[in-house]
Structure 1
Amino acid sequence: MTSPQIVADSEYLPVLLKLLDQAQKSIDILEYSFAIGSAAGKINIKTAPFEIAQKLIEIKKAKKRKIRIRLYIEGYRETASRNQVTAKYLENHGIEVVYGATHAKGFCIDKKWLLFGSTNLTQQSILKNHETNLLITDTRAIVGFMKYFEFHWKGGDHGGITLPPPMIADGGFKDVLIDMIDRAQVSLSFSIYFFHITEIEKAFIRAHKRKVKITGLVHHHGAFALSYVRRTRGTADRMLAAGIKGLHFGPGSLFTHSKFIVMDNKEVLLGTGNWLHEDVKIHPQLYIHLKDPMLAKKLTKHLIKTIDGTILRSPRTADGIPPIGAEDHL
């Protein structure tokens, strides 16, 4: 098996566009958010999402019936209005669209290449956020992704499918995550957007008591989704109080949106679900679990580089975040 390529941050757009140029027969897309304009319908042609949309249209126009392009997109949650603007624009140019519930994100090209991870198709996510994706050619992973895609395309819902390894559907990532933390002997390195599940928090504390080195990059923000930010900060504060010192918060001016963990530089769990009860029990997710030391070491180096190159705030003194327990006025 060829080790996946890490596609992080602003690398995503050029890699995706190059990948789309290779498409011959099929492009299958899962997306939580694909925003080429405002919810009111005003399209902004000077954005990365619009560039992706135009690329899809160009491919369909050039290849016509020789290629099938399908988009399964979130149609219920807060992104739905902007998604509909994009979806209708694409439908008008021959691209098939199904609306449903999903927080998964990924492109599968000709059932040969899979670009999968945390990046949404928004200007913020593509160009500004800390995001982490994998470019995968492993047949097993692609089979799992397509099984998940077809299940939802045909009307499937959260919790209704079990995928073959290495893919993990919906809330199944939680048990795998806790098992990895409990098996760790040397190190755990992770990046997460929102984190508030007691069982996962306690697993990290158990690992710390076993002298496992823990390094974590955790999202915080001063003006967006503050209820989730406070819950995440509460988790970090409890882990700090238990003696875990290797925690860092990303800058409050952008989003630390990656979702992955590396165990002992041997195993990787990476995907789309936040470590929240909502993302385990309600919102459709997708993760991949790989025993790949080469990828694990590269991902750990990527995390350290991100931490070292980012203006960080202490979890106890994160700028712009009201005290834990303060009333949320959002």
Structure 2
Amino acid sequence: MESGKILIMSAIFISGLAVGLLCSYYFFISSVTYPVEIGPDQIIPVTDQNYFPYVHKILSEANDSVHMIIFDVKYYPDFPDSLENVLLDDLIRLAKNGIKVKVITDQYLTEKPVLTYLRENGIEIKYDTQDRTTHSKLIIIDRKYVFVGSTNWGFYSIEKNHEANVLVYSKKLAEQFLNYFNGIWNEN
């Protein structure tokens, strides 16, 4: 009789664990949306932890250029598989494959080792002027995709914070933002 109670208790415990895992999947993991195909003149909101899969997907398909303005970029050598490092590796892979990658960042938070790491791997980097704070978060990919919003490239921004961005497929908008980028690039 005692072994029957243990068996029933074990079954209840395992059932509860299974229900808990399913609920956590439904409420947490399934809340991350994965990139959908985006066509001309489409706008997609990219919020919170959805930022990484969208940016990673579009970068993985880039074949012409990447122009980026960002306030803060982090590199985590002790965590090579971190999402932030994966995005940096995307940029490096593109540069090594002959795709032009240019980054403008601010001197305030971005640490020197990440800039050295990127420069050593073929990425052109400039600081904005010291009398201006570069707080923009902008990525122009292949002169047709534009990410603009609030996400920096650091652990908290990509993996923890509430962040709001949009992905726009528009050659016209990309051209306007590229003119903005080039204006800042040429000032330095």
TM-score by length of 1: 0.42
For residues 23-46 of structure 1, the C-alpha deviation after alignment (integer angstroms, 9 at most, x for no partner) is: 111011111001013xxxx65424
Rounded to whole Å, the distance in 2 between the matches of 1:60 and 1:139 is 22
Over the aligned positions, Cα root-mean-square deviation in angstroms equals: 1.6
Are positions 1:10 and 2:41 aligned together? no
The residue aligned with 1:167 is none
1: CA distance, partners of 2:48 / 2:145: 19
Counting matched residue pairs gives 145
Q: 2:117 & 2:78 partners in 1: Cα distance?
A: 9
Structure 1 runs (4+) greater than 3 angstroms displaced: none
> Highest relative contact order (Cα 8 Å, sep 6+), 1 or 2?
2
Gaps of 5+ in 2: 1-39
Letter of the 2:151 counterpart: T
Letter in 1 for 2:74: A
Q: Give me the identity figure in percent.
A: 28
Aligned-partner residue type, residue 102 of structure 2: R
Offset of residue 10 of structure 1? 0.5
Alignment partner of 1:28 is 2:67 = yes
Query: Alpha-carbon deviations, 1:18-76, whole Å to 9, x = none?
Result: 00011111011111001013xxxx65424221111111112222x22xx111011111x
Q: Whole-Å Cα distance in 2 between the matches of residues 92 and 73 of structure 1? A: 17
Q: CA-to-partner distance for each residue in 1:180-208, whole Å, 9 max, x for gaps?
A: xxxxxxxxxxxxxxxxxxxxxxxxxxxxx
**Residue 57 (1) aligns with residue 92 (2):** yes
Partner Cα distance (1:32, 1:22) in 2: 24
Q: Counterpart amino acid of 2:84?
A: P
Of the candidates 83, 86, 90, which is equivalent to residue 48 of structure 1? 83
Secondary structure of the structure 2 residue equivalent to 1:16: helix
Pick from 133, 143, 151: which aligns with 2:183?
Answer: 151
Q: Residues 82-130 of structure 1, C-alpha deviation per residue, up to 9 Å, x if partnerless?
A: 2x22111010011100011410011111101011101110110001111
Once the two structures are TM-superposed, the CA of residue 141 in structure 1 deviates from its matched residue by 2.1
Q: Which has the larger radius of gyration?
A: 2
Distance in 1 separating the partners of 2:170 and 2:124: 26
Cα distance in 2 for partners of 1:53, 1:2 equals 27
Q: What SS class does the counterpart of residue 126 from structure 2 fall into?
A: strand
Is contact 1:35–1:121 with CA below 8 Å preserved after alignment?
Answer: yes
Normalised by the size of structure 2, how large is the TM-score? 0.72
